[in-house]
Structure 1
Amino acid sequence: MLRILCLCFYFEPDLSAGSFKNSALVKELAKQLPEGSQVDVITTLPNRYASFAASAPEDERWGNIRIRRVALPGHQSGMVDQSRSFASYARQVMKMTAGEDYDLVYASSSRLMMSVLGGWVSWRKNIPFYLDIRDIFVDTIKDVLPATITTFAMPVFSQMEKWAVRRASRVNVVSGGFVPYFQKHFPGIELSGFTNGIDQEFLDAAPSDQSMLNKPVPEVLYAGNMGEGQGLHHIIPPLAKRFEGKLTFRLIGGGGRLQQLKDNLKAQGCTNVTLDDPVPRHELVNVYANADILFLHLNDFDAFKKVLPSKIFEYGALGKPVWAGVGGFSADFIRENLDNAAVFSPCDVDAAAESFQELEMKVAPRKEFTERFSRSRIIERMAAEIIRTAG
């Protein structure tokens, strides 16, 4: 009989890669744990996008799963707002876990402080700590924040990262591009490589045979965050202008650079771009089904050459042409695993326009890809490892 604490900032019904992964993992843990065991989730009320609100109870039970959702102060996507929101969450975690006994703490982290919080709870309880890393905060922050800030902040962040990672009994990284970083900075660390995967709704929507896409003006779709990391405000306005009359672009989501994207589109005089608010998960598959080309882009930062965006798995399952402005590990992964995909250097409009010529306007199954990266298969192995770590 085990009791596992799961700390994750995003969880069902919120919209984010972290939410989808954590929700699937918690359900699989509950299924694999011995009878009488419990999974305790402390997360937040849906908050991924200011423009998307989904209702969810603050305290909920699914069989042997208990989910408690912390209400956060209103926020946008700025660094100060995010820091204040996390501080509010951390205070509630400390309060809710005081006096409670657990056998292991699992933390899913795309930002450094979740790693530190999970490490702190495991240290206070003297229990194993399983750390799932979705992004290398210390590596990314130097590209995102001004040098005047990072000069003083980086040494502090680095020490916090070292403490959290060394506290972990085992570390999982979602991208193989992260492995060299951790091997260099934490030699001898116990690393796993369970990636993101394809959820069942996308597997259900995968094509069974080939068909042609024959719209006179094909639709290019992007659905997701629109922040500094995605760099859509750099690439979409000039790219859309270049393909005016030949392609339409539909962008669904929100984020810290949405207003700048709108301003840049206006400055370019683009008439072939539609911006829509985020949609619930169950509607997303239909949105993808109506699109012709699936678009992905990351900003031109060195740190992003290590990442592997979860969107690649969704896109790959649907069998449609994939147009991706990524570099490093992501570019290699797409070239090795996806046919009918065009990769170009981030923020390079000329390269994007040239790469578009490589795409075939057709839908075709990618059976080997969907079988290999099924979320359920990946999560099943990851959950088993977490339970073994708990002892």
Structure 2
Amino acid sequence: MVAQLSKYDVQIEVVTTLPNRYSTFSTKAKAYEKSENVAVHRIALPSHKSGMLDQIKAFYAYYKQVKKLVKEEDYQLVFATSSRLFTAFLGAMVARQKRIPLYLDIRDIFVDTMGDVLPRKVAFVVKPFLSVVERYTFSKAQKINLVSGGFKTYFKTRFPDKTYRWFSNGIDEEFLKTDVLNSNKEDMAKRLIVLYAGNLGEGQGMHKIIPELAVATSNKLFFRIIGDGGRKQALMSAVEGFNNVELLPPVSRTQLVAEYQNADILLLHLNDYAAFEKVLPSKVFEYAATGKPIWAGVGGFAAEFIKNEVCNSAVFSPCNHTMAIERFDELELIQQPRQEFINKFSRSNIMQKMAEDIIETTNASSH
């Protein structure tokens, strides 16, 4: 997005964090960078393990630093991209303080998700508070971009007078410049490599699907799981002693591309919660760009999207290992280019259109 916006005659200030998602993996980045018309501030956060309390502490540290950084600055528009409600909330606060337009890019329905994921008693206490924060946040926005068409009913019912955009997730350049490598299966008795790479939290529910799949396919499939998150320990305990499951820590994007190349099948899974029937995981796009078969345990909008847009994919109901095994036979175990998908969902193309919309919103507000 910044690359596309920087082509215009504007000054862009980005306030984000230093890489911090996992306590087990970090990458180096400068705390401050400045180019011709882009300044990037990266705020250091305390290391965390994806637990709720850790994330609250991390956000509070971010909140304090952002408020300090922007206090004396003069802006024409605030753009906030958020899978977590409070990042959008912070953007709304800054926009209100500066009396300028707010453009929100929404990647998850936080209140809906928390209502499903949190224990019932906790959700009963927390959800009313979150709903107030949500109303405040979205009431301040001039435009709201929703990355999933599955979000439409939720937001249009609650905020019918808002202007919406539908710029989806896309495929990053790293995943468009890959060569095919042959898998080395000598140490795995020629079993097919099924790769999952991503977060291992409650939302993904890998601890609910991998153990059953691994037992049922022990002579046929080898599961390589790369990532970290709040439910990794539960998964580790559930597959302890298995000879066809390997758990690895998070890796860099360069290493990730190599892992995709070496895999036979790419696995995607979301937990069996109603809230996840509205989402469209960004992982779909990078998986699809590889041309590898995709085995996806998703429902709702994501299931329909994959069936309609991604060839050589097999979709099964979340947490249903019996159905997963049945659908596995639908996959062709070949690498199959998806050029039409790539042309349609290249992130650079999507971000260019979004950048034009942001500039239009900024110009409209200055007149």
TM-score when normalising by structure 1: 0.89
Which stretch shifts more, 214-223 or 195-204? 214-223
- 2:227 corresponds, among 253, 278, 282, to 253
Kindly indicate whether the alpha-carbon contact (under 8 Å) linking 1:212 and 1:362 is maintained by their aligned counterparts in 2.
no
Report the Cα offset of residue 74 of structure 1.
2.4
**1:57 aligned counterpart, secondary structure:** coil
In structure 1, the residue matched to 2:5 is 29
In structure 2, the residue matched to 1:325 is 297
Which stretch shifts more, 326-335 or 42-51? 42-51
- 2:12 corresponds, among 26, 39, 43, to 39
- 2:175 corresponds, among 202, 206, 214, to 202
Report the Cα offset of residue 220 of structure 1.
0.3
| 1:21-41 superposed Cα distances (whole Å, 9 cap, x missing partner) | xxxx1121112x21xx21111
Q: Cα–Cα, structure 1 residues 206 and 371, in superposed 2: closer, same or farther, change >3 Å?
A: farther
Report the Cα offset of residue 214 of structure 1.
11
- 2:239 corresponds, among 265, 268, 273, to 265
Cα RMSD of the aligned pairs, angstroms, is: 1.5
Q: Is 1:242 aligned to residue 213 of structure 2?
A: no
Q: Is 1:373 aligned to residue 342 of structure 2?
A: no
Report the Cα offset of residue 62 of structure 1.
3.1
Q: Cα–Cα, structure 1 residues 92 and 372, in superposed 2: closer, same or farther, change >3 Å?
A: same
Kindly indicate whether the alpha-carbon contact (under 8 Å) linking 1:51 and 1:278 is maintained by their aligned counterparts in 2.
yes
- 1:346 corresponds, among 305, 311, 318, to 318
- 1:138-153 mapped onto 2 (5 Å cutoff): 138-153=111-126
In structure 1, the residue matched to 2:45 is 72
Kindly indicate whether the alpha-carbon contact (under 8 Å) linking 1:220 and 1:247 is maintained by their aligned counterparts in 2.
yes
> What is the rounded CA distance, in whole Å, between the counterparts of 1:212 and 1:42 in structure 2?
41
Report the Cα offset of residue 60 of structure 1.
1.2
> What is the rounded CA distance, in whole Å, between the counterparts of 2:183 and 2:48 in structure 1?
41
Report the Cα offset of residue 212 of structure 1.
10
Q: Cα–Cα, structure 1 residues 341 and 206, in superposed 2: closer, same or farther, change >3 Å?
A: farther
| 1:270-298 superposed Cα distances (whole Å, 9 cap, x missing partner) | 21111111111122111100100000000
In structure 2, the residue matched to 1:224 is 198
Q: Cα–Cα, structure 1 residues 200 and 206, in superposed 2: closer, same or farther, change >3 Å?
A: farther
Kindly indicate whether the alpha-carbon contact (under 8 Å) linking 1:206 and 1:365 is maintained by their aligned counterparts in 2.
no
Kindly indicate whether the alpha-carbon contact (under 8 Å) linking 1:206 and 1:317 is maintained by their aligned counterparts in 2.
no
Gaps of 5+ in 2: none
**2:239 aligned counterpart, secondary structure:** helix
Kindly indicate whether the alpha-carbon contact (under 8 Å) linking 1:197 and 1:373 is maintained by their aligned counterparts in 2.
yes
Counterpart AA for 1:375: R
| 1:120-153 superposed Cα distances (whole Å, 9 cap, x missing partner) | 0000000110001010001100011112122122
% identical aligned pairs: 52
In structure 1, the residue matched to 2:61 is 88
Kindly indicate whether the alpha-carbon contact (under 8 Å) linking 1:206 and 1:318 is maintained by their aligned counterparts in 2.
no
Report the Cα offset of residue 205 of structure 1.
2.3
| 1:288-322 superposed Cα distances (whole Å, 9 cap, x missing partner) | 00100000000000000000001111111111110
In structure 2, the residue matched to 1:14 is none
**Number of residues paired by the alignment?**
359
> What is the rounded CA distance, in whole Å, between the counterparts of 2:321 and 2:35 in structure 1?
48
- 1:45-60 mapped onto 2 (5 Å cutoff): 45-60=18-33
| 1:248-275 superposed Cα distances (whole Å, 9 cap, x missing partner) | 0111111111111000111xx4211111
